[in-house]
Structure 1
Amino acid sequence: MSIVIITGGSRGLGASAAIQCARRGMGVILTYNTNPPAAAKVVGAIADEGGKAVALQLDVRDSAAFPAFRDAVRHALSATWGADRFDALVNNAGYGLFRPMAEVSEDEFDGLFRVHLKGPFFLTQALLPLIADGGHILNVASATTRVATTGVAPYAAFKGGLEVLTRYMAKEFGERRIRANSIAPGPIRTELGGGLNDEFEALLASQTALGRVGEPEDVGCLVAGLLSDDHRWVNAQNIEVAGGYII
């Protein structure tokens, strides 16, 4: 059985990815930061469908806690699956901030940096000894790296850095046959950045070729598909999942 770790797996895209991966027979370790009940709900939904999942606490901003998290992963692998390695890491945890550059504080800038670029870098580094040869790293970037949108400059800049980092991961980890790809979701109906009101959703839908905003399942299905062996020759790529947003 393949085992995947999904950060930020208690809600939104991460929760959908966790459920879709479990439906394809993968074991799932999902992380949450401050909402254990939400994580437990996802674990329960997976169990109700015959899958197996474990929820672990992780604050991606706190890189000093990553060695302890690695130990928790090692224990969960052994206790739940009798394994000592996992097969895929999905760096998904994140949050949004909508504020013009002239109003962004240094603390807000640093917070976004720690979660969206520094966190994935050092979490991947910490977990490398536990990733199986032939595994996969999937980083969640954003369509805002392609389409400049007022109010999300720091977020988009760090997601752009994550795209570049993905290619370097593919290059450096290739000797272990570890693939690295990123995906770039477009407008999705989630709680990120406060969610979508009706007027904003209508605007985004009108700018999308398929005429609607995305749902978490649209992204979750792509994540599960990319992690499967069917896509074993896809490497060092950024794949936009946006329904044709501003093309």
Structure 2
Amino acid sequence: MGNLNKIALVTGGSRGLGRNAAVALSKKGIGVVITYNSGKENAETVVREIENGGGKAAALQLDASEVASFDEFAAKLRDVLKEKWDREQFDFLINNAGFGINVPFTEATEEQFDSLMNVHFKGVYFLTQKLLPALADNGGIINISSGLTRFSFAGNSMYAAMKGAVEVLTKYWAKELGGRGIRVNVVAPGAIATDFGGGSVRDNEAVHGFIRSQTALGRVGQPDDIGGVIAALCTEELSWVNAQRIEASGGMVL
């Protein structure tokens, strides 16, 4: 198996898309380290689920908005890689941690802006930089964006702008890290039924109906629609795909 002893780090892997990606990666024989902010029990449940399925997994606490904590996190990651896999490095970084704020541009606050920026842009930028020595050559980085960088729904200006920044970063990182054989791509999910943003896509029937009407495949996205895309990008079959934005939205707003 080409994935034997390969390891992926999934930030925000205790719930939602991160959880789904972690499980999908493990089914491809890839070891997984997930991070959680406050949901330790959820993270431990994901680790048990992966290990019960025959995979290897570990969970580490990380506040993706606290750049000052990244040195300590990198040290803990090195320890867990050594202890669990007897390796110094990991192979795939999935920058998934995040949350949503839906607010009209006219009412948006600096505090909201900063909270989104610190996790979705600044945190992604500097966590990736900090982890580069631990990321193996010929590995990969997958950033998570959003369909909202291509189409616009009112109230998402701050969130979508951060994701747009990450899409630009993706191309620059691919260029600058290509010498190490590291490929960098961005996956942009459409509306997915999770607890994200208060769970409105999952729980609100009016929102459901609207999204169905805007989607070529005629339904709302599920976590299973995304996790496999992320996992596939960590396989040999897609190893020539680099610097791409891959939208997984079922064809929203075509």
- With normalisation by structure 2, the TM-score equals 0.97
Shift of 1:192: 1.0
1:186 matched to 2:180? The reply is no
5+ long unaligned stretches in structure 1? none
Residue 210 of structure 1 is matched in structure 2 by: 217
Residue 62 of structure 1 is matched in structure 2 by: 66
Residue 150 of structure 1 is matched in structure 2 by: 154
Counterparts of 1:158-169 in structure 2, within 5 Å, are 158-169=162-173
1:36 matched to 2:40? The reply is yes
Structure 2 Cα separation of the partners of residues 121 and 226 of structure 1: 20
Instruction: Choose from 233, 239, 242 the match for 2:246.
Output: 239
Structure 1, residues 170-224: CA drift from partner, whole Å, max 9, x if none? 0000010100000100000011111121110111011000001111111000000
Instruction: Choose from 199, 207, 212 the match for 1:200.
Output: 207
Shift of 1:229: 1.1
Instruction: Choose from 231, 236, 243 the match for 1:229.
Output: 236
Residue 132 of structure 1 is matched in structure 2 by: 136
The aligned length equals 247
- With normalisation by structure 1, the TM-score equals 0.99
Shift of 1:148: 0.9
SS of the equivalent of 1:157 reads: helix
5+ long unaligned stretches in structure 2? none
Structure 1, residues 97-136: CA drift from partner, whole Å, max 9, x if none? 0110111110000000011110110000000000000010
Structure 1, residues 52-93: CA drift from partner, whole Å, max 9, x if none? 100000000000000000001100000000000100000000
1:10 matched to 2:14? The reply is yes
Counterparts of 1:166-177 in structure 2, within 5 Å, are 166-177=170-181
Structure 2 Cα separation of the partners of residues 109 and 120 of structure 1: 15
Structure 2 Cα separation of the partners of residues 146 and 125 of structure 1: 27
SS of the equivalent of 1:227 reads: coil
Structure 2 Cα separation of the partners of residues 169 and 137 of structure 1: 9
1:51 matched to 2:58? The reply is no
Percent of aligned pairs sharing the same letter:
49
Structure 1 Cα separation of the partners of residues 30 and 119 of structure 2: 26
Structure 2 Cα separation of the partners of residues 100 and 45 of structure 1: 39
SS of the equivalent of 1:46 reads: helix
Kindly provide the amino acid, as one letter, of the partner of residue 230 in structure 2: V
